[in-house]
Chain A
Amino acid sequence: MRDAGTHYTQPLDKPVLKLDGITKVFPGVKALDAVSFDLRAGEVHALMGENGAGKSTLMKVLAGIHQPDAGRIVHNGVEVRMPTPLAARASGILLIHQELSLSPELSIAENIYLGAWPTNALGILRKRKLNRDAAAALHSLGCDYNPRARVGTLSIARKQMVEIARTQAFNANVVIFDEPTASLTDTERDQLFATIRDLQKRNVAVIYISHKMDEIFQISDRITVLRDGKLQGTVDTADSDIDQLTRMMIGRDLDSYFTRATGQTGPEVLRLEGLGCEGCFKDVDLSVAAGEVLGLYGLIGAGRSELAEAVFGIRKVSAGRIFWMGREITPPSPRKAIDMGLCLAPESRKEQGLVLGMSGRDNITLPHLRDFSRLLMMRRTHETEVFERYRGILKIKTSGPDQRVADLSGGNQQKFVLAKWLCKTPRLLILDEPTRGIDVGSKSAIHALIAELAEQGLAVIVISSEMPEVLGVSNRILTMSDGRINAEFSGAGMTEQALIDAVSAPT
């Protein structure tokens, strides 16, 4: 293995990696403005900041994907340049991507050593050596996966382990995790943390990027906060608290994290009786009224998103009845649901919620082309008016009606999803994980918006895996477990303990 052991001899207080005045300018934006940062061997260093604060750019500079316009990178006491991801990997700096960079059709072993497969002089793979080395790398992480297994057959958590095994294979001394827990269950997250601690024991320095405060406090030793591409400071986790970090991140105090709707509830909008969907959920009874925010809490896989999709008409309903505004209806198609005023902001914003390559304006009007056209011709001025109106109301940060939504932050993308539905004044809005992957500032803006919409008489169903969010925004909460609704809470009965008990109760 290459330069094994060099980092073990580093004294603990001497940084293994030092960034000095890193500046990176993209056309029109200063993504990083003289950011300095140091990383010690054996520490977990959290990197926080709102979306667009420059975290990802900084990490891409480190991993050789972007080249800085100014500044120095000092690695193990030597000033270095990272011209390519390969160079970064060779010097022991490894980025574990948020969207894992694996090839599903290749084997575990081939993925771990991607781009560095052992071959003989003729270019023929030395499969036995490859599999043996991969098994050793996995074994040192406590995993006994078959290195020949196809990566496509693995769960997300295991895929992540395969990426982490690269740290062993390439003897990494700096490992960067970018939002590693975004798609993990609680158990899987605990395993990941155990693995991170294990890396830490081997004197590997870990950079941990996350939006989740509880995780940051659980795993990190120090925290560095970025805002608008500028360094806000580095603090010891033990001496810090959520309020301080929030202030550093958004530059002001958050009045409160959550806003709850306080209006009067009106007539019932949607009622489900014994709704079922084969293999997803069954016997679901539910009703939601105008002006009400109904929370739907449960663990991943409980069937919440499937329920939302069934109501919206994406999934086939196999049993039960649906009542809309008091009248029984047949399960709608998405077109019919939209026309009735039943809208869904789906869980995977990028895949289901938006057409990423299209502009914000075109995304807003996409489901309503009939209303924005005359004799097959689009009414562009009308479209732009609506775009400008919602840009103002929702405070969307975008350069104009033609900017592609792919280039926006998660929070602004979500606002476009909302604008798309709000411009036709819906009656029921189902929000599936409305703030997943969204930074703190935008999060509270979206929470305030939910409350405001409900107070204007809209019925809202909020599906979320984040307990504080469900507790903070809902007037009433249903818990779902194993495809069934198993409890209902309201008022003072809505406590963390009650929700945990409900979703973990044996069914």
Chain B
Amino acid sequence: MNPADTNAGAQPEHHSAYRAALIDIVLRNQIWGFLLLAVILFSTASPFFLTVNNLANVLTQGAFIGLLAIGMTLVIINGEIDLSVGATMALALALAIGLQNSGFGPGTAILAALATGAFLGFLNGAVVVLSGMHSFVVTLGGLLGIRGLVFLYTEGDALMIADFTYTELVEIYLGPISLTAMVFLGLIVLFQWVLSNTRHGREAFAVGDNIEAARDAGIRVGRHKIINFTLCGLLAAVCGVLLSMRMGTAEPQAGRIWELWAIIAVVLGGTRLQGGYGSLWKTLGGVLTLAVVQNGLRLLNTPNYVELIVMGGVLILALGLDRILTYKIRAGRT
């Protein structure tokens, strides 16, 4: 075929194609605009907000939900969901402390906690893939069952670490940045790199976007999902271990509805709940926005229930705005 044939039609499209691409980029990163807005708002409302210490604190507080949100992002891009991460986190937290009290060393306890998280994630993935049930149902079962295990293990009471030197392990700071925040940011960078540069990462998008096409192209969809569920469980355990170091205690109720906060952060960031589209930069934006709003409201002495109402409002507002913006710009384009 003459190359001119196909190119002839392409010429007039060029200019608008660049414009469309630009609009696309703005629309796909709306969360950072929202974060900026929240920061400006709280900076003017409270003199304590825009200080290095407070911002570092925001980062540390956000990091726990953030770790769950990293794994959640992988699973959601894959077209699935994991509701059991809060409970998995709690079990890892309880094991990390409980095993030390039973005489194991901190290293063993941490490894056992991480291995348990990864195993539960693997189990979630395997059941989803082998049974063909929706991950919503499978991991909802996981949520209940694992929380039950937590109560079984802690016998319903909070466990407290016997040797408090354990909590000093986490006292490492890079300037004002805590170890927890460093781990979180490091894992964001690592997994974003995995998503965009490895075969596994890119295939996650293919599977979530068009599972039939992925299957036809020979991608091993099942194995792929199991890996992501395993990573998600492992990251929940990492969160639990870091929390154990920070708190020194394990409440059986720890991490309740954290799976929902993680999902909110992911979705707020702009990752598509149906799968196939998203990134960890977005999730980072979502996590930070949630943390900033929560911190700002506390600085303003807002009661806890008002905080919840505002957070709910923020979520709906951010996504609503995103929809309206997308709609307006798409309509203007034609």
Taken residue by residue from 73 to 98, chain A's Cβ proximity to chain B (1 for < 8 Å, 0 otherwise) reads as 00000000000111001000000000
Give, as a whole number of angstroms, the nearest-CB distance from B197 to chain A.
6
CA distance A89 to B218 in the complex (A): 10
Complex: A115 Cα to B3 Cα, angstroms: 28
If A102-B210, A103-B210 touch, whether A125 touches B5 (CB-CB below 8 Å) is no
A133 to B: closest C-beta gap in Å: 15
Interface residues on B, range: 35 or more
The answer on a CB contact under 8 Å between A116 and B217 is: yes
A105 engages B277 (CB within 8 Å): yes
In the complex, how many residue pairs between chain A and chain B have their CB atoms under 8 Å apart? 100
B318 located at the interface, meaning its Cβ lies under 8 Å from any Cβ of chain A in the complex:
no
B22 to chain A, nearest CB (A): 12
Which of A193-201, A409-417, A418-426, A490-498 sits within the interface? A193-201
Q: Which residues of A contact B200 (CB under 8 A)?
A: 123
- Any chain B CB within 8 A of the CB of A104? yes
- CA distance in complex: A86, B219 (Å): 9
Give the contact stretch, choosing among B68-76, B118-126, B201-209: B201-209
| A142 to B24 Cα, complex, angstroms | 27
Across the interface, which residues of A come within 8 angstroms of B310, CB to CB? none
Query: Which has the most chain A C-beta neighbours within 10 Å: B1, B218, B334?
Result: B1
Are B5 and A101 touching (Cβ within 8 A)? Answer: no
State whether the Cβ of A358 lies closer than 8 Å to any Cβ in chain B. Answer: no
Does residue B21 face the partner (Cβ distance < 8 Å to A)?
Answer: yes
Asked if A142 and B6 sit within 8 Å, CB to CB, the answer is yes
* B219: A residues at CB distance < 8 A: 114-115
Q: Is the CB of A187 within 8 A of B334?
A: no
**B306 proximal to A (CB < 8 A):** no
Q: A110 an interface residue at 8 Å Cβ cutoff?
A: yes
Q: What CA separation (Å) do A102 and B217 show in the bound complex?
A: 10
The answer on a CB contact under 8 Å between A106 and B206 is yes
By the criterion CB–CB under 8 Å, are B24 and A153 in contact?
Answer: yes
How many angstroms from the CA of A117 to the CA of B205 in the assembled complex?
14
Quick check: A105 and B212 within 8 Å, CB to CB? no
Q: For the complex, what is the distance from the CA of A116 to the CA of B66, rounded to whole Å? A: 33
Q: What CA separation (Å) do A110 and B3 show in the bound complex?
A: 23
Check B9 for interface membership: any CB of A closer than 8 A: yes
Instruction: Take A106-B205, A124-B199 as given contacts and tell me if A144 and B210 are in contact as well, using a CB distance cutoff of 8 Å.
Output: no
- Does A127 sit at the interface, judged by CB under 8 A? yes
Q: Is the CB of B217 within 8 A of A85?
A: yes
Residues of A near B213 (CB, < 8 A) are 101-103, 114
Chain B contacts for A103, CB-based, 8 A: 205-206, 209-210, 213-214, 276
Q: Is there an interface contact between A143 and B217, defined as CB atoms closer than 8 Å?
A: no
Contact A144 B3 (CB under 8 A): yes
Least CB distance from A287 to B in Å reads: 28
- Residues of chain A contacted by B210 (CB below 8 angstroms): 101-104
Cβ proximity bits A104-143 to B, threshold 8 Å, 1 near / 0 not: 1110001000111101001111010000000000000111
Q: In the assembly, what is the distance between CA of A306 and CA of B1, in Å?
A: 35
Q: How many whole Å from A152's CB to the nearest CB in chain B?
A: 9
Which of B1, B9, B21 sits near A198, CB closer than 8 Å? B1
Is the beta-carbon distance between A124 and B206 smaller than 8 angstroms? no
Inter-subunit contact A116/B205 (CB<8 Å): no
Given contacts A124-B199, A125-B197, A125-B198, whether A141 and B216 have CB atoms under 8 Å apart is no
The minimal Cβ–Cβ distance linking B273 to chain A, given in whole angstroms, is: 14
Roughly how many angstroms separate A280 CA and B329 CA in the complex, as a whole number? 16
A102 cross-chain contacts in B, Cβ below 8 A: 210, 213
A120 CA to B197 CA, complexed, in Å: 11
A161 within 8 A of B: yes
Q: Are B205 and A105 in contact (CB under 8 A)?
A: yes
Within the assembled complex, what's the spacing in Å between the Cα atoms of A117 and B3? 27
State A94–B217 Cα separation when bound (angstroms). 11
Residue A11 lies at the interface, judged by CB distance under 8 Å to chain B: no
Question: Contact: A84 with B198, CB < 8 Å?
Answer: no
Question: Whole-angstrom distance from the CB of A71 to the nearest CB of chain B?
Answer: 23
- Could you tell me which residues of chain A, from 196 to 247, have a CB within 8 Å of some CB in chain B? 197-198
Question: Is B7 among interface residues, defined by CB-CB distance under 8 A?
Answer: yes
At the interface, yes or no: A191 with Cβ under 8 Å from chain B? yes
| Chain A proximity of B310: nearest CB distance (Å) | 32
Which residue of chain B has its CB nearest to the CB of A103? B209
Shortest Cβ gap from B39 to chain A (Å): 30
A101 in contact with B1 (CB, 8 Å): no
State A142–B215 Cα separation when bound (angstroms): 29
> Is there contact, CB below 8 Å, between A104 and B209?
yes
Cβ contacts under 8 Å, A187 to chain B: 9
- B209 pairs with A195, CB closer than 8 A: no
Q: With a CB–CB cut-off of 8 A, which chain A residues contact B202?
A: 106, 110, 117, 125
B residues 1-49 near A (Cβ < 8 Å) are: 1-7, 9-10, 17, 20-21, 24
Q: Do residues B198 and A85 form an inter-chain contact, with CB atoms below 8 A?
A: no
Q: Per a CB cutoff under 8 Å, which of A65, A84, A110, A194 touches B218?
A: A84
Binding site for A on B (CB under 8 A): 1-7, 9-10, 17, 20-21, 24, 197-200, 202-203, 205-206, 209-210, 212-219, 276-277, 331, 334
The 3 closest A-B pairs by CB, nearest first: A115-B217, A86-B218, A101-B213
Q: What are 14 sample pairs from A and B whose C-beta atoms fall under 8 A apart?
A: A85-B218, A86-B217, A101-B216, A102-B210, A103-B206, A106-B202, A114-B206, A115-B214, A117-B203, A124-B198, A141-B1, A141-B6, A142-B2, A161-B6
Beyond the given pairs A85-B216, A104-B210, A123-B198, 18 more chain A to chain B contacts, judged by CB atoms under 8 angstroms and listed by A's residue number, are A84-B218, A85-B217, A85-B218, A86-B217, A86-B218, A89-B218, A105-B209, A106-B205, A106-B206, A114-B219, A115-B219, A117-B199, A119-B199, A142-B4, A143-B3, A153-B21, A191-B5, A279-B334
Residues of A within 8 A of B (CB): 65, 84-86, 89, 101-106, 110, 114-117, 119, 122-125, 127, 141-144, 153, 161, 187, 191, 194-195, 197-198, 279
